[in-house]
Amino acid sequence: MKSKLIPVLLILLIILNGILIFMLLKKPHESKRHSQERNFLIQELQFTDDQKDKFLSFDTAHRENMMHLDQEIRKQKDRMFNSFANENLNLDSLSTKIGLLEGKKVVELFRFFSKVRNICTQEQQSNFDTIINKALKGGKERPPRRKGENHTPRGKNGMPPPR
């Protein structure tokens, strides 16, 4: 019984390893998500073929810039968190660099959307503005805050709960 089970398990493990290698190399889940994000704006704004080509070139350059900035941020964070024993570490300097890189990401995103908006017609620009405003609000309209309202949880007698 054991001698027949070993080859079956070995074949099964080889097949599973092949599937894992394919998933790691091709990353089909990522490419599907990116194409859905691209297609969303293309479809919602009803881009012409010329607009679509310009948008895709903007998108490719934008993704490269964002990946580069993400890598730089990751390097700085790794440097920070791998230096607990280093007493000469200038934490303020590293956190400032990380903050500047995060700011560059926001500027890159703004420039990308500005370029996309500039290739739109007047009607498309109106739809674009609506889409961006919804995205900024998390897709839902937020209820207006009442004057003096804060969002700290309250315990008995209106006091914050003990920690």
In angstroms, how far apart are the furthest CA atoms of the chain?
76
**Separation of alpha carbons 122 and 118, rounded Å:** 9
pLDDT tens for each residue of 23-81: 777 765 555 555 666 788 888 899 999 999 999 999 999 999 999 999 999 999 998 88
DSSP percent split of the chain into helix, strand, coil, nearest 5: 75, 0, 25
Which pTM does this prediction carry? 0.62
**Separation of alpha carbons 163 and 157, rounded Å:** 16
What percent of the chain has pLDDT above 70?
Answer: 77
How many other β-carbons are positioned within 10 Å of the β-carbon of residue 41? 20
Least confident of 36-40, 71-75, 124-128, 131-135: 36-40
